[in-house]
A and B are shown apart, each in its own frame.
Chain A
Amino acid sequence: METPYNQSDLLKEFSPHLERTSVLQMIWIVFLLGVIGLGGFALYTQISKGHIVTGMRDNVVWGIYIVNFIFFMGVSYAGALISGSLHLFRAEWRKPIIRIAEFITIIALLIGPCYILLCIGRLDRLPYLVLFGRIQSPITWDVIAISTDIFGCIIFLYLALLRDIAQIRDFKEISLPKWKKKMYSFLALGYTGTPEQQKRLQNATDIMAAMVISIAIIVYSVLAWIFSVTLQPGWHSTIFGPYFVIAAVFSGCGIMIITMWLFRKIYHLEHYITRRHFVNVGVLMLVLAALFGYFTFSDYLTKWYGSEKNDELLIQLLFKKYYWLFIISNYVGVLLPMIVVGIPKFRTINNITFSAIVVVLALWINRYLIVVPTLESPYLPIQDSRPEWLFYNATWVEWSLTAAGVAVFALLMTLASKFIPVVNVSEMGDKPVPEEEIL
């Protein structure tokens, strides 16, 4: 059984990160703000000139904005599933990394829906979705589901942070500005760790952990159903719900490993986040890679053998125009984590992180291949079939806003780590749960 850490020592170690921001961190933040500024300029261009500055046209009405939306939502749900499950199963090894999963959940969830707003041509009609929304529409389900999920994840994150907030409030050796002290004091809700408070907090956290897991599955399935209830080649599939959920957790594992690697390097957490954590999340990624590969194969195989005219056109498009993207997404992205994590010799921190980067890229491409080629092979041909109207190429505006989304993610992760330690100080200080009590 592992020895619990001393909470004061841990807080002392993380205090410098909460107290001040180094020059390098400032430069990093300024750089991210610069990328966000470029995104702001792209957004201004899009609003002033209209969606004509994007690659989206009458035929391909969804582009990389929707891809980014699916991607960030997937990352968020993966964070929720990982943090919720690890919490419920009381996995001891979760303690140093669970905070990272919680940050990923809420930050990705706040960024994802913004891409939908970028995609909408007439934002002034957005209230109609609430005023005249029909319950039968999957778009309405999605709006309800995402807003419900945002509330749930905020509550879960708050519950998970409460003990650490109270610890920082009570920690005397930390020198924080007055406003920050007041903020911690306000957010701590007077938590002092009495048996009654501990019991209430534990109950609420357990319930919310279970809720965020189930909501994540439902919400990402709803997102998949937006596609699969549509009679479009490549989308109208019964396995899209579970396929999306698997893909989401798969990509989320990748983001989790990359973030763990970055925080480990930046905050020198080598003592807390060890090879064991990378291997454990890596094994989860391996299992998900196998499931993802199985679902992908099953989906395309039935379409291929079905030989329906439009499905065949889509598969031809994937194997010709998008050949390399298809190979990277569905072969490299699946096989690499299996090889790296599956063979003990390759199972190093850097190798696992590299395979996670490839997985994240492959999964982004996978979403691109789900959205764009389908819209490029519609059932009804459009009247004016100019290549630039029929096919999709993302413009600098879309790429800038994509980069801005990634920058916002990185910025919020950085700011979050300045607000609360990236390692769960309270749980690290708890007595480890004996193995036989798990489950």
Chain B
Amino acid sequence: MSVKWVTSQFLKKKFYSKVNVPKAKRIYQMKKEFHLIIIISLFALTLSHQTAFAREESDTAAQISPSLSLNYWCNSNDSATLTARIFFNRDKDMICLKNAVISFSATDGNKIVPLGVAVADSTGNAVLTCSTASLPAKEGMITYNADFTGAGKYLPATGSFSAKPAKLEVSFYEQDSVRYIKVTGTVKDAKGNPVPFADQGIKLYVPSLFRPLPIGEITLDKDGAGNMEFPKTLVGDSLGNITVMAEIEENDVYGNVVASNSIPWAISKHAIQAERPSRELWTPVAPIWMIITLIIMLMGVWAHYVYAVVQLVKIKKSSKKDPYAIK
């Protein structure tokens, strides 16, 4: 059914209903009305299409299969920090699942020990710290699992990580007036007894504003110990306290291992009274010339506005004196 046919039918119907009006005028009026109806219909159609499209989009929302990654940090106090991150990809963007409940567990392949649950934050991270002392291990290796059981349109997801518990310790000593940082490392053998962590590279850091500042790297000897001279240029807090962190990063067997210790050997940070900043374009206080210019300009403009408004007020007042004025 073409638009032309609809037009002709419409015109025919209207034409026979008003036989008394001159023909040309009738056709003109009918055409006018028809165009009006077409415009209104098109507009209504556009609006309804938009609404229908929006509804369709929400109705056909497909189920989403999220990804779950598990990160593991072994701490010096026989504990492990497990960080599970849950997310999914849409249009090349990574979208994190906030408030997803993640269950953590540990297993040796036979026995499963639940470790607890954590809720994902706005970055999709659910963090749990647990003791590694009594976890089931197969030849010293513990497998950690993180499970998301699914919610609504989000399907279940799991992540796992296997690592042998390792332990690092950071200590400090002074010899012949030279200060040293000492790192010792132990791992557990098949029977669960601690043995030296030999030939392992360790990175040393101190905390800084954005990310830890690397201060050196040492390799543990056959006794599982290593040392380096304490840097003399490090700045600590107001008392000279500084925390030194030792880390093994992403080892295939031991995963991430971390330890830290503090010592008041750093340079003390003194609170310096900030001087009043000079008046520049980039400082919090504006240059005097700029303030004066702005004040002069604004005062000049607003004074004229006030003058105009005062004239209006006077016009109003003068009308009250005028006996012929409309009250």
Contact = CB atoms under 8 A, between A and B. Distances in A.
Nearest to A384: B92
B326 interface: yes
A170 interface: yes
A192 B307 contact: no
A185 B316 CA distance: 12
Given A190-B322, A208-B305, A386-B92, 19 more contacts: A31-B39, A136-B281, A148-B301, A151-B305, A155-B309, A158-B312, A159-B308, A169-B326, A185-B326, A189-B316, A189-B319, A190-B315, A191-B315, A192-B324, A194-B318, A196-B318, A197-B319, A204-B307, A218-B297
Interface in A125-168: 134-136, 144, 148, 151-152, 155, 158-159, 162
A301 B227 CA distance: 65
Interface string A373-413: 00000000000001000000000000000000000000000
A293 B85 CA distance: 57
Interface in B292-320: 294, 297-298, 301-302, 304-305, 307-309, 311-312, 314-316, 318-320
- Shortest Cβ-Cβ A-B pairs, 10 listed: A190-B319, A204-B311, A135-B286, A204-B308, A189-B316, A200-B311, A190-B325, A136-B281, A192-B325, A197-B315
30 contacts: A27-B36, A31-B39, A34-B43, A134-B286, A136-B282, A136-B290, A144-B294, A144-B298, A148-B298, A148-B302, A152-B305, A155-B309, A158-B312, A162-B312, A185-B326, A189-B316, A190-B318, A190-B325, A192-B319, A192-B322, A197-B319, A200-B314, A204-B308, A204-B311, A204-B312, A207-B304, A207-B308, A211-B301, A215-B301, A386-B92
A207 to B, nearest CB: 5
Main secondary structure of the interface of B (DSSP, over half): helix
A26 to B, nearest CB: 12
B266 to A, nearest CB: 34
Contacts of A192: 319, 322, 324-326
A191 B319 contact: yes
B55 interface: no
Contact of B304 (A34, A136, A189, A211): A211
B315 A189 contact: yes
A386 B91 CA distance: 11
A208 B308 contact: yes
Interface residues of B, number: 37
Contacts of B282: 136
A175 interface: no
A201 B92 contact: no
Given A155-B309, A189-B315, A201-B315, A208 B304 contact: yes
B47 interface: yes
A190 B320 CA distance: 8
A316 interface: no
B13 interface: no
A47 to B, nearest CB: 15
Interface in A173-201: 185, 188-192, 194, 196-197, 200-201
Interface in B34-48: 36, 39, 43, 46-47
Contacts of A170: 326
Contacts of B152: none
Contact of A190 (B46, B92, B311, B316): B316
Contacts of A215: 301
A123 B108 CA distance: 54
Contacts of B327: 190
Interface in A351-375: none
Nearest to A206: B308
Contact of B318 (A41, A197, A208): A197
Contact of B47 (A27, A38, A148, A204): A38
Contacts of A38: 46-47, 50
Interface in B66-95: 92
A222 to B, nearest CB: 11
B112 interface: no
A203 interface: yes
Given A135-B290, A190-B327, A201 B311 contact: yes
B323 to A, nearest CB: 10
A40 to B, nearest CB: 11
Instruction: Give the most central of A37, A208, A386: most B CB within 10 Å.
Output: A208
A38 B282 CA distance: 43
B263 interface: no
B284 interface: yes
A211 to B, nearest CB: 5
B195 interface: no
A207 B304 CA distance: 7
Contacts of B39: 31
A343 to B, nearest CB: 36
Nearest to A205: B308
A367 B319 CA distance: 48
B253 interface: no
Contacts of B320: 190
Interface string B176-194: 0000000000000000000
Interface in A50-99: none
